[in-house]
Amino acid sequence: MKAARQPLRDRDFYPDDYTDERDTTEVPNGVRLQKVLAQAGVASRRACEEMIGDGRVTVNGQVVRRFGAKVDPATQVIHVDGKRVPTAPDLVYYAMNKPIGVVSTMSDPQGRPCLADYVEELAPRLFHVGRLDTETEGLLLLTNDGELANRLTHPSYGVQKKYWAKVPGPIPRDLGRRLKQGIELEDGLVKADSFAIVQEHGQQALVEVVLHEGRKHVVRRMLEVAGHRVIDLARIEFGPVKLGRTKAGTVRALTLKEVGELYAAVKL
């Protein structure tokens, strides 16, 4: 019967009434799907074959159960358990702990330290995802995946960034409420998604600010308008990626899980 020839479909990509009698994912002279997954770091080739057999893998939205399926890792979108797997061989993803004094550009006409001093040998044409001002340290993402970089910085996707700021204390009880209600800056209202006091000691305090805004110096400006000049500032999280124990001035490759979560955060 015709219904028996219908391939399984991922409902996130196809409506329930979609019909197609052929498997449209096969690419002549492509690479075997289990090999692509294994090379991407999903699991061993044998384990990837089991995932395929269990219907956990989709290619361009279509569930593929054939062990011999051939795909194009550079152009087709592959998900495992609903999370996208980066399979294009030339795409790279890094996290850097940018030190204070480093400019968030790949070159600087004034000769100041810049990102290229740390990453120029990793891959050609890396994009830095957003910026950190020269006096701010912390997590910066770098990739040559232009679509992902653009979405991560676009405000419509609401990807949150978490900052720790050292400010003069004590902290009034209403500061969090004021920041979440909104602070009026010269370029418009800005609201914190959340606020917490991490530590208070004497005349200084460490506070946590989470927001999805990407305006220049936005954390410094909103805290200053609220009456708390920023002494030191660091970004410790960007979406699902955490700075963790990455030392200042060092760069690490993102894990497969982190990349998949970044894709999910921007609906890729």
Q: What are the pLDDT digits (tens) for 32-86? A: 999 999 999 999 999 999 999 999 999 999 999 887 899 999 899 999 999 999 9
Please pick, among 10, 108, 133, 232, the residue that the annotation labels catalytic.
133
pLDDT tens digits, residue range 179-198?
A: 999 999 999 999 999 999 99
Backbone angles phi, psi at 236, to 5 degrees: -110, -15
Distant-in-sequence, close-in-space partners of 47: CB < 8 Å, separation ≥ 6: none
pLDDT for 21 equals: 45
pLDDT for 12 equals: 62
pLDDT tens digits, residue range 209-246?
A: 999 987 889 999 999 999 999 999 999 999 999 999 99
pLDDT for 9 equals: 56
Report DSSP letters for 117-150, one per residue: HHHTTT-SSPEEES---TT-EEEEEEES-HHHHH
**119 token code pair:** 């990453």
pLDDT tens digits, residue range 71-125?
A: 999 899 999 999 999 998 889 999 999 999 999 988 889 989 999 899 878 877 8
3-state secondary structure of 113: coil
pLDDT for 90 equals: 87
Backbone angles phi, psi at 120, to 5 degrees: -65, -25
**251 token code pair:** 């760069």
Respond yes or no: is residue 133 known to be catalytic.
yes
**219 token code pair:** 């954390």
DSSP annotation of 155 = G
Report the distance separating Cα 237 and Cα 244, nearest Å.
9
